[in-house]
Chain A
Amino acid sequence: MTVTKLISASALVLIGGLAQAGESDTLSVEGQAMTTRVAAQAHTPNLDEVFSGWVFRTDETQALQMDDFENPGFVFVDKGIDLYAKVDGSEGKSCASCHENVEDFAGLRASMPRVVDGDVVSMENMVNDCRTERMGADAWKWSSADMTAITALIGLQSRGMPVNVKFDGDAAAQWQKGKELYYTRVGQLDMSCSNCHEDNYGNMIRADHLSQGQTNGFPTYRLKNAKLNSIHGRFKGCMKNIRATPFKEGGEEFQALELYLASRGNGLTVETPSVRN
């Protein structure tokens, strides 16, 4: 009798978890259809299917992303537009001095991060390269308000394009390193990324609905801190949650992990700036 009760109770829990995932919902932003689920690929053998983080959110949060006016991320994109035209540094240049139309960045976000000469290059690196080398300005901090505003503006130009990050050839070594980090248990809770985002996506961890930890919507507006969050900033949050000492933002560990995670989301559309909880 007890055994039967236990079994039926666990069956209920499972059904509850699936129903909450809202996996049948489809995302269209300003009338443009987005791909929020794609078939698992050869390099994601432990996923049944690849889901954007959007499908795991509540109806209310999902709705925020469907309308650019309601999406609070656009307040920061607007700041990015102002920053793009703002002259800074000793050379008297703004972003717009060289890159006249920000629309020309269409497609860039979908291919980031890239591996150049064995190192992972994130969008933040490219922005700071321009600032220090060509504008004569100070580098921005990795997750600063200015940096996320600009990366959101540049990322927005690729919205709706499928993520297509190259992870073979030159990138293979860094990708492998990222993969090892993904499966390495760390911290006092002794957990790896995969424990939550691969083994338990779709389940609840206390009050939070676990996603696959996809990066296609970054920088993402989070309701919990009412600002744009960088990919590395999010990694830091995860590592604190498992009581580990976070790696440095912009450091080689997070960069390798960024590459590996981005490759896991190949085929999903870029949703920058997405809205999450």
Chain B
Amino acid sequence: MAKGVKPRVKVPKTAAAGDMITIKTLISHKMESGQRKDKDGNKIPRSIINRFTCEFNGQSVIDVTIEPAISTNPYFKFDAVVPETGEFKFTWYDDDGSVYETAKNIAVG
């Protein structure tokens, strides 16, 4: 399992109905591409986050396939329209099968 993996997310706490909000996400991960070799010439095995998804109240907002060329600590920034109060759920899928999750609530008033 990759070490020091920590997801972080920035979502506004409140918004008006139908507002376009900006979401920023970052996960600390070494994103080892599988192309590199160590000092002895052995291939360093690939270890990356291969998929990132965001859902709002169960509805898909974004679903990203991540390839080995994505650099360390992948950062995503995207916009979403919020129709109602609810929860954004963020999920990152690691090559090793680990799943990292975090969620943020937003109040629409």
Contacts and interface: CB of A to CB of B under 8 A. Distances in A.
Q: Do A and B come from one complex?
A: yes
A75 B6 CA distance: 9
A183 interface: no
Contacts of B4: 79, 82
B104 interface: no
Nearest to B6: A78
B24 A70 contact: yes
A70 B25 CA distance: 10
A69 B28 contact: no
B50 interface: no
B28 A75 contact: yes
A165 B10 CA distance: 36
Interface string B1-12: 000101010100
B91 interface: no
Interface in A81-99: 82
B72 A226 contact: yes
A13 to B, nearest CB: 36
A75 B75 CA distance: 12
A72 interface: yes
B73 interface: yes
A226 B28 CA distance: 13
Nearest to B71: A226
Contacts of A75: 26, 28, 73
Contacts of B6: 78
A69 B10 contact: yes
Contacts of B8: 69, 78
Contacts of A70: 24
Interface of B: 4, 6, 8, 10, 24, 26, 28, 72-73
15 contacts: A69-B8, A69-B10, A69-B24, A69-B26, A70-B24, A72-B73, A75-B26, A75-B28, A75-B73, A78-B6, A78-B8, A78-B28, A79-B4, A82-B4, A226-B72
